Every structure is written in C-alpha cells, then in structure tokens.
C-alpha cells in the first residue's frame, strides 16, 4: 500500500501555492474546482502528493501542532541558507539524531509544520 497524498486545507491558495512551489520546490501536478467555492491543487512529482484545498466557506483552518510533513533535500545547510534569503524563520533544529540523518523544521503559511531531511 502506498500513500497517495496529504491534504491541507489552506487559508489563502495563492500564498500556499507560492510556498509549496518556491520554498518546498513542488511543481503543480493538477488542479480543478469542486463547485463554485472550492479549488484544489495537487503538487509533487512521482509518488505521494500534497493536496491543497481552499474552500471559501471555511474561514478557520486548524492544523494540529503535532503533525508534520517531511521532504528530502540534498543539503540542509543549503536549504537553511535559501530560507534565510527568503525571510523564512527556522522553527527548530537542525538536529542530527544519528550520523546519517540531519533535519530541521519550518511552518507553512497555514501553520503546518514542514520538515526538511538530509540523509547520507
């Protein structure tokens, strides 16, 4: 069994798309509307996707503080430098729980915790 996608309800689709495309590096895979009030985007390449849903009727998006989405990067040092240039604050880390893995956390515009992981 494979994970197909992770769904995030967003406060602002334009801001969220900019974050996931420019900061995380995910391309738009597909997009569509679900009625007059809802737009949906799937982002990512092969494998699991991130699904962003904006619904005009939902005014309060509540993302759990103990949930995160992890993304692989080649170098967390390079990613941290990139994020600093973009004005994005590191939430916590970097951490190195073993000699082969390093990671840190930031938050997306909706409060979702994003983890960037370097594995050697």
pLDDT tens readout for residues 51-88: 999 998 887 877 877 789 999 999 999 999 999 999 99
Among the three residues 29, 57, 85, which one is the final residue of a domain in this structure? 57
Range of the domain at 105: 64-120
Across 39-47, average pLDDT: 93
Alpha-carbon gap, residue 117 to 100, rounded angstroms: 10
CATH of the domain at 117: 3.10.180.10
Output the pTM of the full model: 0.86
Residues with Cβ < 8 Å from 115, sequence gap 6 or more?
A: 68, 69, 70, 71, 103, 104, 105
Shared domain for 68 and 113, answered yes or no, is: yes
pLDDT at 45: 87
| Contact of 20 with 69, CB cutoff 8 Å | no
Shared domain for 35 and 73, answered yes or no, is: no
Alpha-carbon gap, residue 27 to 83, rounded angstroms: 18
Structure tokens at 14: 């334009």
How many domains, in total, are found in the chain? 2
């Amino acid at each position: 069994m494979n994970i197909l996608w992770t769904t995030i309800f967003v406060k602002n689709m334009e801001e969220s798309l900019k974050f996931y495309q420019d900061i995380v590096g995910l391309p738009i895979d597909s997009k569509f509307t679900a009625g007059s009030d809802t737009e949906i985007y799937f982002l990512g390449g092969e494998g699991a996707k991130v699904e962003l849903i904006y619904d005009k009727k939902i005014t309060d998006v509540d993302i759990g503080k103990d949930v995160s989405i992890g993304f692989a990067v080649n170098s967390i040092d390079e990613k941290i430098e990139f994020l600093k240039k973009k004005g994005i604050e590191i939430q916590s880390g970097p951490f190195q729980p073993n000699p082969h893995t390093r990671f840190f956390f930031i938050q997306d515009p909706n409060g979702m915790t994003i983890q960037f992981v370097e594995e050697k």
